[in-house]
Amino acid sequence: MIAVVIIILLAVLGAPLFAVLSAFALAAFHAMQVDLRVVGIEMYRLAENPLLIAIPMFTFAGYLLAESGAPRRLVALSRAFLGWLPGGLACVALLTCALFTAFTGASGVTIIAVGGLLLPALRAEKYPERFTYGLLTTSGSLGLLFAPSLPIILYGYVAQVSIDKLYAAGFVPGVMLLVILGAYAARVSIRGNMPRTRFSRREALRALRAAAWEAPLPLLVVGGIYGGKVTLTEAASATAMYTLFVEVCIYRDVRPRDLPRILTESMVLVGAILVILAAALGLTNYFITAEVPQRLFEWTQQYIGDRGLFLVILNLFLLVVGCLMDIFSAILVVVPLIAPVAAGYGVDPVHLGIIFLTNLEIGYSTPPVGLNLFIAALRFRRSVLEMTRASLPFLGLYVLALIVITYVPALSLWLVRLLGVR
């Protein structure tokens, strides 16, 4: 018990999470008088599952896109097609951020690469300052529910749910989020009597031609994964190689001599995630050995009778988790505990995944540790408090969407059934 308190204290003092999780696992097994080798065996399980290979390859593709002119071309393209709508440029921002986050895994790259481009454009069209900051801050994690997002891969791996199913399940809720936020933007635009641009076929064709090599990329990934023709690993490999070819050989945005640097940069984040995963595997083994999830379920059953109430508590709990932890650690630590409990209440594991990820998407923009707030504050040279205040109306809409996603399981599940994804 004392050990647990000390480890938690060290965690909030800033010890790396992989060391914290390992310490829990080592201390627990030591107390059970189990040989510590079990933790080593679990760490080696990183080399067991072919799914994990997709993580570095998608991350590399995302970093490569961020380094290239892809954000600029993507903004131009969606602007040519959506710019005429009321709130058109804000919708452009939403769509671009969502696509970009799906590829870069919400590591803050979206705000840096896309937010910086969109800020001057939005301000030039007279969008209110606070609205603009709120939009760009919260959109840093929008798109988490779309393929090929990294958190979904991790969730599927940890919860042992089909990742293809999760991608199919995330599509409709993800689109719903976009529509809700887009409608809000349109309202702001109409109220502010903001000028609208006219659709120009010439402009659209030009933007389409400029992005001709990149525009098919989402379709390629989405078609490949949702269509079930290729495995996730194959899709990741093909995406990375295609991106590499297009950005280096065709657009020549990325010089070959920059490649070693980009390869390394992208792997620092991956390394940080994988060592936490290695540590979490050891801790999960302890949870299972000590039957912690079962006990947790028995304990919650004394207080929480039905599924409806459980879902309310679950959402509140996950919002707090999202406030305190980043998404990767939250998935690796909380999912092994919560997933069996939720299954006990009859929550569909795929639906649970979407609830979980939507909560954490919100957590990205909540103090005290919301990554979006810090990166936006850094990128736009404003205070974290200002970014937080600007994000509030958007977070309200996210919570609204979360409630719908939680209480309408069909929203998440109908596409899974329709496509017959396994």
Partner 1 sequence: MGWVEGRTFFFAAAIAVAIAAVGAASIERTRAGRALVGALHAAEAGFLALLLAILLVLSFTQIILRNVAHTGFVWIDPLLRHVLLWIGFVGGAVATRREAHISVDALSRYLPPGPRRAARILSRLFAAAICIVLAYAVLGVMRDEAEMATTAFLGVPVWVLQGIMPATLLVMSVRFLGQAMRAEPPAPEPDAGAA
How far apart are the C-alpha atoms of 317 and 321, rounded to whole Å?
6
267 Cβ neighbours under 8 A, 6+ residues apart: 56, 59, 60
Q: How far is the CB of 102 from partner 1 (least distance, A)?
A: 15
| Residue of 160, 200, 264, 289 that binds partner 1 (CB under 8 A) | 264
Give whichever of 48 and 298 is closer to partner 1, judged by the CB atom.
48
**34 near partner 1, judged by CB under 8 A:** no
| Residue of 272, 312, 403, 419 that binds partner 1 (CB under 8 A) | 272
**23 near partner 1, judged by CB under 8 A:** yes
Contact 21, 276 (CB under 8 A): yes
**63 near partner 1, judged by CB under 8 A:** yes
User: In the window 98-157, what residues touch partner 1 (CB under 8 A)?
Assistant: 109, 112-113
How far apart are the C-alpha atoms of 418 and 359, rounded to whole Å?
25
Q: How far is the CB of 356 from partner 1 (least distance, A)?
A: 18
How far apart are the C-alpha atoms of 166 and 217, rounded to whole Å?
20
DSSP state letters, 118-162: HHHHHHHTT--HHHHHHHHHHTTSTTTTSTT-HHHHHHHHHHT--
| Residue of 94, 150, 154, 269 that binds partner 1 (CB under 8 A) | 269
Q: Which stretch binds partner 1 (CB under 8 A): 62-70, 129-137, 218-226, 304-312?
A: 62-70
CB pairs under 8 A, 24+ apart, for 272-276?
272/18, 273/55, 273/154, 273/328, 274/46, 274/52, 274/55, 275/18, 276/17, 276/18, 276/21, 276/328, 276/329, 276/332
1 Cβ neighbours under 8 A, 6+ residues apart: none
Give whichever of 78 and 243 is closer to partner 1, judged by the CB atom.
243
How far apart are the C-alpha atoms of 2 and 301, rounded to whole Å?
28
Q: Return the structure tokens found at 305.
A: 């009778």
| Residue type for position 345 | Y
| Residue of 37, 255, 257, 381 that binds partner 1 (CB under 8 A) | 37
| Residue of 31, 32, 263, 316 that binds partner 1 (CB under 8 A) | 263
Q: Which stretch binds partner 1 (CB under 8 A): 142-150, 197-205, 259-267, 299-307?
A: 259-267
Question: For partner 1, how many residues bind (rule: CB under 8 A)?
Answer: 75
**392 near partner 1, judged by CB under 8 A:** no
Give whichever of 169 and 319 is closer to partner 1, judged by the CB atom.
319
| Residue of 162, 197, 233, 300 that binds partner 1 (CB under 8 A) | 233
Q: Return the structure tokens found at 233.
A: 């690993």
| Residue of 19, 210, 290, 312 that binds partner 1 (CB under 8 A) | 19
**270 near partner 1, judged by CB under 8 A:** yes
**44 near partner 1, judged by CB under 8 A:** yes
User: In the window 278-307, what residues touch partner 1 (CB under 8 A)?
Assistant: 278
**368 near partner 1, judged by CB under 8 A:** yes
